[in-house]
Each structure stands twice: as structure tokens, then as C-alpha cells.
Amino acid sequence: MDPVIFTTLAVVAKMLLLLAVTLGVVPVMVWFERRGAGWFQGRPGPNRVGPFGLLQPLADVIKFFFKEDWTPGNADKFWYWMAPLIALVAPLAAISVIPFGSHLVIGDSVVQMQLADVDAGVIFILAFAGLEVYPVILAGWASNNKYSVLGALRGSAQVVSYEISMGLALLSMLLFYGTFNMNEMVTWQTGTLWGFLPAWGCFFNPFAALVFWVSIFAETNRLPFDLPEGESEIVAGYHLEYGAFKFAAFFMAEYVAMIMAAALMITVFFGGYGFLPGMQTILEIATQQFGLGAAGIQNVTALLQFTSLASKVAFVMFVFVWVRWTLPRFRFDQLMDLGWKWLFPLSLVNLVFTAWLTWYMGQ
Amino acid sequence: MVDIIYPLSFLAAASALLALVMLFAKDALTCAMALLGVLLSTAGIYGMIGAHFVATIQLVVYAGAIMVLFVFSIMLLNLKKLGDRFPITSPRFLIGAVSGLAIVGAGTWGILQWIPQSYGTWDNQAMLAAGGNTRILAHSLFTQHAIAFEAVSVALIVALVGAVTLAKRKFE
């Protein structure tokens, strides 16, 4: 096949895969969120639509479709419509630089399992995470509603504040890895530590991992930090005036942002697509059973790597739900105190310590 | 190397168009968002020509931080429609326009003079061999240009302290 056509096809296939996975996880997560709520609170949860309530998200989608698509009278129409779109685009763009496997071998050509191998991948993601402030501000402002503006101000203040500690936590890991490239980070994390622990970033710098994990809860507006929503104080925050499918777009954007943040955390702190314990054995058994050649081994490896990343992300998503139904919501001043008076100085100290440690180890 | 001239010209056209929107839109927020679009497409151009680090820094600093500040101040001051208070025939505007065009023209001329000799030692192969452009940039920043780098950071801190002092006096 013509190499240009092949490359184009491969890129389109990867785009479709990423879209299908990230958007396809949303209904599953919506279902799990509600079933999980039931499970944690000792009640059944949605169990009438389909087996185990599995078709409940479908019912939700139908409801969203048939609701009246309403625009408030004094809203700034253009930005009111743009805000949900930007909300979806930013995390989807960020997810394009996350490597979800090493590479596939198809015929004579090699397909990198990553949409865009950007040299400064980590900063690229941070950049697009930074763009997630815009839909919040725009939605609140364009709705022309006091409660929406209040929600938008709270939301953007929160996202901007926690971005700092998130960035500092990432920076300390960059000192360890000595690279911005996410593939090189994953390669760095293969192998074992003291013979039994996988050599993941979180074991070298557990504090940064913790700070990062806390920060992504705030970045993605999840409980215990879902103050931008704040339905008990300010009705519903920045998306108060949104209904029907525009609200659903915000809702989807939140889950896509969660997947993106989880994948980033896995790649930087938890070994990325590196094998989980036991996967090497599966690979060896498969090689013996089917008599695989070099290309076959590489392809099975890539599939296992994808499975590894997917299962780690699934675990982080489970923790998102777990925390949501376990911890109560913070007050706004508590949230700001945690961000500025605790996480920020502590991650700064951690960064300086890591810099010293890297220098000392390099001696 | 895949031909990048089409995406590049698309991005260039997008940024020129958005720059025009920024100049002529009446709504302050639309102007700010158009400027954001200009910055994003410039970042895209940097990314296409292989300067990934500059592209991402453009996104983080300009799109992620400075433009948020712009949008915030527009929202908080509630600048709605600017209307037609802008006198396009006033001498002040004409002087500004002429000198602006002169600066742009001089800059373009200077760049055109400089381009034929500008291909330095770094092509894509050399860059990959040295470990990617982020690494090269970091090395030259912290070795060759270390003093300039530190001087710029001192200047930024001075500006920051100055801004805080000025703002504080106003509040007291």
C-alpha cells in the first residue's frame, strides 16, 4: 500500500479509537456512578432499565435529545453555544499525546500507538488542561445570570489554583526522568525497584503522586472539590442556564477530562502502558501456544500494553467514584486553604528536595 | 518528511483571519477570544515546524495564563459593547496606523534579508540525534545563554514586585 495512504489511514484509525474509547466510557461511567452511589449507600441504584440498569444511560440520552433546547433571552448567543464545545474539545485534544502502547507491526510498517508524539508531551497536556478554564468562564459569563457568574468565578479560581500544585508535582517528576517525552517516561519506569516493586514514578516520589492525585480531583471538578457546581449554595454553578444536549456536553466533557487526567497520572506516576505483574507470563504462554514471530510478539505486546493502561485508568476512575460517595464536599475557603497554604508550599519544598536528590544521586 | 505546507497555510490563514476579527469585533469578549485563537494557531504553526517546546510554552503562558487574565478583567469590568466611539480618521489613529505599518514593513524586510542565510546547523536529523529540541533548547538556555536567562528572570521579579507595590498603595 502507498505509505502516505497507509499513514493517513493509521492516523484516522487512531483518532477513531481514541474518540470511541473516551466517549464510549462516558455512558459506562454514568451507569457506574449511579450504581456505585447505590452500592456505597446500601440501596439498589438504577435497576429497572435493562439488566442491572445497564440501559439507564441510553434512557438518559433519549431524555436529553427530547428536552426543549432552550436559550436564555439575554444570553450572549454565540459564546453560550461555544462554551460546551470548547469544554469537550480541550480534553480531547490533550488526550492525543498520551501513548497507549509501544507500536504495532502491520506488514512492513510500524504504527506508533500514540496519536501525536510531541517532544514536550507533558507540557502540551498541561497547556490543554489550562484551556479548560475557558468554557467555565465563558459559560458563566454568557448565560447572563448572577449565579452562573458566581459559579464561573469559583470554578475558574479553583482550576487556576490547583493547576499550580499539579504543575509543580509534574515538574519534580520531570527532574527524575530528565525528559518531557511521555514514551521515554514509560520506558524509564519499566523494570523493578529492590527486586519486587515495579519501578513506577510514584515509588520514587510518593508525595508528588499524592499532590497530583488530589489536584486532578480539583481540576476535573469532582467531589470533594465540586464547588463550581455547588448546587446547595449557588443552584448549579456555571452551567445553571444550560439544558438538554448542551448540558450533556458539559457532562461528557467532565468525564473526558477525568479520563485524560487519569491517563496522564498513570503515564507519569504509575508506569503508563508498561506491563502489569503477570503480563510477561501471558505473553510467553501466547508466544509458545501460537508460535508467534517477532511481529506477532510485538503486536500481542502492544495489545497487552493497551490493556494494562486501560485497566489502570479504570481503577483510577473507580477511585473517583469511590471518593465521591465517601467524602463530603469542602467549603470554598477550605478548598483554597488546602490549595494555597498546604499543597502549594509542600509541593514547592518537594520540588527543591527532588532537585537536590537528583543532583546528589548524579554525583 | 510529509509536506506540511498545507496545514501551515491553513493555520496562517486562520491566524490572520482571527487577527482581523480581533481588530474589528465590537464585543470585547469576542476580541479576547479571537486573540486566543490567534495564539492557538501560532502555537500550531510552531508545532508544525517542529518547535514543540515553543508551541507548548505559547499555549501554557499566553493561552493558559495571560488570556485568562484578559477574559477575567473583561468579565469583571463588564465591558460589553464598545460601540462606534473609535474615531478612525483622527490624527492620533492615523499616526499610529502609519507607524505600525512602518514597523511591520521594516520587520518583514529585515526577516526577508536574513532568511537566506538563516539555515543553521540544526536540521531535523541533527535535532533528533541530539535528543529532541527541548533538550537542545534547555542546554543552550542554561549554558550558552545562562546570564541572559537569569537577567530576564530578575527583570520579571522586579516587575512583579513593582506591580504588587503599586496595587498595594491603591488599596491602603
CA A152, CA A136: separation in Å to the nearest integer?
Answer: 5
Using an 8 Å Cβ cutoff, are A75 and A250 in contact?
Answer: no
Q: How confident is the model at residue B103 (pLDDT cuts 50, 70, 90)?
A: very high
Q: In the prediction, which pLDDT does B3 show?
A: 66
**Mutate which: A119, A145, A182, vs B, most B CBs within 10 A:** A119
DSSP state of A37: H
- CA B55, A122, A223, A344 torsion-angle sign: negative
CA B12, CA B41: separation in Å to the nearest integer?
Answer: 7
Q: In the prediction, which pLDDT does B81 show?
A: 56
Look at B72 and A156 and tell me if their CB atoms are within 8 Å.
Answer: yes
Range in A144-153, A303-312, B118-127, B155-164 with the lowest mean pLDDT: B118-127
pLDDT tens sequence across B19-39 = 999 888 877 888 888 998 899
Using an 8 Å Cβ cutoff, are B60 and A126 in contact?
Answer: yes
Q: Closest approach of chain B CAs to the CA of A309, in angstroms? A: 25
DSSP state of A74: T
CA A359, CA B48: separation in Å to the nearest integer?
Answer: 35
Q: In the prediction, which pLDDT does B13 show?
A: 92
CA A151, CA A130: separation in Å to the nearest integer?
Answer: 18
Q: Distance of CA A97 to CAs A123, A128, A264, Å?
A: 10, 11, 10
Answer whether residue B57 shows pLDDT above 90: no
- Mapping DSSP onto H, E and C, the string for B86-112 reads CCCCCHHHHHHHHHHHHHHHHHHHHHH
Look at A119 and B134 and tell me if their CB atoms are within 8 Å.
Answer: yes
CA B43, CA B64: separation in Å to the nearest integer?
Answer: 12
So where are chain B's domains? 1-83, 128-172
CA B132, CA A120: separation in Å to the nearest integer?
Answer: 9
Q: In the prediction, which pLDDT does A210 show?
A: 92
What burial class does residue B154 get, using C-beta atoms within 10 Å of its C-beta: 0-12 exposed, 13-18 middle, 19+ buried? exposed
pLDDT tens sequence across A282-314 = 888 888 888 777 788 888 888 888 888 999 999
Q: Closest approach of chain A CAs to the CA of B103, in angstroms? A: 31
Residue A164: how many CB atoms within 10 A of its CB?
Answer: 16
CA A355, CA A98: separation in Å to the nearest integer?
Answer: 26
Q: How confident is the model at residue B86 (pLDDT cuts 50, 70, 90)?
A: low
Whether B25 has its CB under 8 Å from any CB of chain A: the answer is: no
CATH number of B1-83: 1.20.120.1200
Q: In the prediction, which pLDDT does B53 show?
A: 79
* Residue among A65, A62, A55 at smallest CA distance from A28: A55
**Which of helix, strand or coil describes residue A5?**
helix
Q: How many residues does chain A have?
A: 363
Look at B135 and A179 and tell me if their CB atoms are within 8 Å.
Answer: yes
Q: What's the number of CA atoms in the CB half-sphere (13 Å) around residue B150?
A: 5
Look at B68 and A137 and tell me if their CB atoms are within 8 Å.
Answer: yes
Answer whether residue A108 shows pLDDT above 80: no
CA A140, CA A152: separation in Å to the nearest integer?
Answer: 5
| Residues of chain A with C-beta less than 8 angstroms from the C-beta of B133 | 119
Long-range contacts of A231-234, Cβ-Cβ distance < 8 Å, separation of 24 or more: A232/A329, A234/A147, A234/A150, A234/A151, A234/A154
- Chain A residues near any Cβ of chain B (below 8 Å): 4, 7, 76, 78-79, 118-120, 123-124, 126-128, 130-131, 133-134, 137-138, 141, 149, 152, 156, 160, 179-181
pLDDT tens sequence across A86-104 = 888 888 888 888 888 888 8
Q: Closest approach of chain B CAs to the CA of A156, in angstroms? A: 9
| Residues of chain A with C-beta less than 8 angstroms from the C-beta of B59 | 123-124, 127-128, 130-131
Mean pLDDT across A18-26: 88
Q: In the prediction, which pLDDT does B1 show?
A: 44
Answer whether residue A334 shows pLDDT above 50: yes
Candidate ranges A143-147, A322-326, B70-74; pick with highest mean pLDDT: A322-326
To the nearest whole number, what is the mean pLDDT of chain B?
A: 81
* Radius of gyration from C-alpha coordinates of chain B: 20
pLDDT tens sequence across A241-263 = 887 788 888 888 889 999 999 99
Answer whether residue A6 shows pLDDT above 60: yes
To the nearest whole number, what is the mean pLDDT of chain A?
A: 85
Burial A94-127 (b: 16+ CB within 10 A, else e): bbbbbbbbbbbbeeeeebbbbbbebbbbbbbbbb
Using an 8 Å Cβ cutoff, are A308 and A275 in contact?
Answer: yes
CA A357, CA A338: separation in Å to the nearest integer?
Answer: 26
Which residue in chain B is spatially nearest to A77 when comparing CA positions?
A: B30
Q: What's the number of CA atoms in the CB half-sphere (13 Å) around residue A245?
A: 8
CA A18, CA A259: separation in Å to the nearest integer?
Answer: 11
Whether B57 has its CB under 8 Å from any CB of chain A: the answer is: yes
Residue B53: how many CB atoms within 10 A of its CB?
Answer: 23
Q: Closest approach of chain B CAs to the CA of A120, in angstroms? A: 6
Answer whether residue B119 shows pLDDT above 80: no
Range in A18-22, A59-63, A258-262, B2-6 with the lowest mean pLDDT: B2-6
- Nearest neighbour of B53 by CB, restricted to A7, A120, A179: A120
Reply yes or no: is the peptide bond before residue A224 cis, omega within 30 of 0. yes
Using an 8 Å Cβ cutoff, are A273 and A102 in contact?
Answer: yes
CA B116, CA B113: separation in Å to the nearest integer?
Answer: 7
- Beta bridge pairs of residue A110: A105
Mean pLDDT across A345-361: 90
Question: ipTM of the assembly?
Answer: 0.71
Q: In the prediction, which pLDDT does B150 show?
A: 92
